[in-house]
Structure 1
C-alpha cells in the first residue's frame, strides 16, 4: 500500500530525513537510497508517495519513494553519469602514456597521484564527519586540491562514498577547477613552457 506525505526534515549531508504523513500520524524515516530512481536530492517540503516498512525496533521506514507528479526517465545528472569516470580514466591513461614517451615529466604525474590520494582521504574523513556531526573539511579545501591536480581522486571519492556527487553548486565549482587544471597542465606541458622551465632550473 502506498502512502503520501511531505518531507518535513532532511539532512542532506547525512542523506536521511523524515516524512510527515498526510492526515497525521507518526513520522516515517526516509533514506536517500529509498528513492526508486536516481533523481534530484530533496531539500525539504517535497510531497512524496511511498511504501512503509516496519523495522524490528518498530521504526517506520519509507521504501520505493517517489516525488508526487514526477516524470520518469529524466536525464541522468553529472553526479550519477558514468561518462566522467570514463573521461578521468582516459585522462590518466594519456598522462601515463605521455610520461612513457618522455613528453611529460614524471614529477607532474607524481603530483597528480599524491594530491589525488590526499583528496580521496579528505572526502572520506569529511563523509565520516558528516555522519557523526563532527568538524567538517571546508569545501574550498576540497576544491583547491582539485585545482592542484587532485580532481581524479575527488571524482572517485564522490562515487565511492556518495559524497558531494549531486550537490549542484559543489559540482559546478568542482568541474570548473577540473577544466582550469587541465588548461594549466597543457600550458605547462607545452614545449615552450618546458624549455623555459629547463632554463629556470638550469637543466
Structure 2
C-alpha cells in the first residue's frame, strides 16, 4: 500500500488524482476504486492506495481509503432510506387512488414508465459525466420529473449518487414534485376528473 494526498477531485464526474507522498506524477483515481464505507473523497484528503494499471496500461489507484478518520456518518444511508420511503409511500397512494377508481390505469402506467425512464436517464447522465461524453440537460430531467417521473428520480439520486448535492438542482426538483402532486390532486377533484375523462374519450375516438 502507498500513501498520498488527493490533489484534485471532481465530484460531478466521479474522478480525481492522488499526489504520491514519495513524489512522482499524480495518480488517477476513479470513484469505483474508492472505499464504500467512508465519506466521499475531497481535495487534501490523505489516503492509502494500491498502484495498478488500467486496461490501456495507464497507472491508476485502486483499493483507496482514507488514512485516518473521514468515516461515513450515515448520510448516504439515510438518503437511501428516505428515497425508498418516498417511493413506497407514493406507490401506496397511487395504488389507493387506482383501486378506489379515482384515477384510471393509464395514469398508473404513465408514472411507472416515466419513473423507469427517469432512472435510466440519470444513469446515462452519470456515465456521461464520468466519461466526458454528451450530457443530458438538467431541464430535460426536470421535465420528466414534472410529468410523473420524479419517483424514479428520487431513487436514482440516492442510489446512483447523482445530482444529489447540487442545491439549485435539488430545489428545482422538489418544486417539480410539488407541482406534479398538485396536478394529481386536481385530477381527483370532480372538475379534474371530468377533464381527464373528456381527454381520454377524445383520444379513444381519435
Q: Cα RMSD (Å) of the superposition?
A: 3.4
Q: Please report how far the alpha carbon of residue 62 of structure 1 lies from its aligned counterpart in structure 2 after TM superposition.
A: 5.8
Is residue 5–residue 19 contact of structure 2 (8 Å, CA) maintained in 1?
A: yes
Alignment of 1:34-53 (within 5 A): 34-35=34-35, 37=37, 39=39, 42=42, 46-53=43-50
Q: For residues 199 and 48 of structure 1, do their structure 2 counterparts lie closer, same or farther at Cα, with a shift above 3 Å needed?
A: closer
| Cross-structure match for 2:61 | 61
> Gaps spanning 5+ residues in structure 2: where?
none
Q: Please report how far the alpha carbon of residue 76 of structure 1 lies from its aligned counterpart in structure 2 after TM superposition.
A: 0.8
Q: For residues 202 and 2 of structure 1, do their structure 2 counterparts lie closer, same or farther at Cα, with a shift above 3 Å needed?
A: closer
Q: Please report how far the alpha carbon of residue 141 of structure 1 lies from its aligned counterpart in structure 2 after TM superposition.
A: 0.3
- Range with greater deviation from structure 2 (99-108 or 193-202): 193-202
SS at match of 1:82: helix
1:12-45 deviation digits (Å, cap 9, x = unpaired)? 3431110224574331333334146453564xxx
- Range with greater deviation from structure 2 (23-32 or 107-116): 23-32
Distance 2:49 2:72 in 1: 24
Q: Please report how far the alpha carbon of residue 75 of structure 1 lies from its aligned counterpart in structure 2 after TM superposition.
A: 5.5
> Gaps spanning 5+ residues in structure 1: where?
none
| Cross-structure match for 1:97 | 96
Distance 2:41 2:186 in 1: 38
1:101-121 deviation digits (Å, cap 9, x = unpaired)? 212222221221222232233
| Cross-structure match for 1:136 | 135
Distance 1:105 1:58 in 2: 56
Q: For residues 80 and 66 of structure 1, do their structure 2 counterparts lie closer, same or farther at Cα, with a shift above 3 Å needed?
A: farther
Asked if 1:174 is matched to 2:170, the reply is: no
Moved over 6 A (4+): 199-203
Number of residue pairs the alignment of both structures matches: 198
Distance 1:131 1:144 in 2: 23
Asked if 1:7 is matched to 2:7, the reply is: yes
Q: TM-score w.r.t. structure 2 length? A: 0.75
Q: For residues 198 and 63 of structure 1, do their structure 2 counterparts lie closer, same or farther at Cα, with a shift above 3 Å needed?
A: closer
| Cross-structure match for 2:183 | 184
Is residue 29–residue 62 contact of structure 1 (8 Å, CA) maintained in 2?
A: no
Q: For residues 145 and 36 of structure 1, do their structure 2 counterparts lie closer, same or farther at Cα, with a shift above 3 Å needed?
A: closer
SS at match of 2:45: strand
Q: For residues 58 and 134 of structure 1, do their structure 2 counterparts lie closer, same or farther at Cα, with a shift above 3 Å needed?
A: closer
Q: Please report how far the alpha carbon of residue 199 of structure 1 lies from its aligned counterpart in structure 2 after TM superposition.
A: 6.7
Higher helix share: 2
1:52-90 deviation digits (Å, cap 9, x = unpaired)? 2122568351645349885x5645158843112121112
| Cross-structure match for 1:87 | 86
Distance 1:39 1:15 in 2: 13
Q: Please report how far the alpha carbon of residue 159 of structure 1 lies from its aligned counterpart in structure 2 after TM superposition.
A: 4.5
Q: Please report how far the alpha carbon of residue 135 of structure 1 lies from its aligned counterpart in structure 2 after TM superposition.
A: 1.4
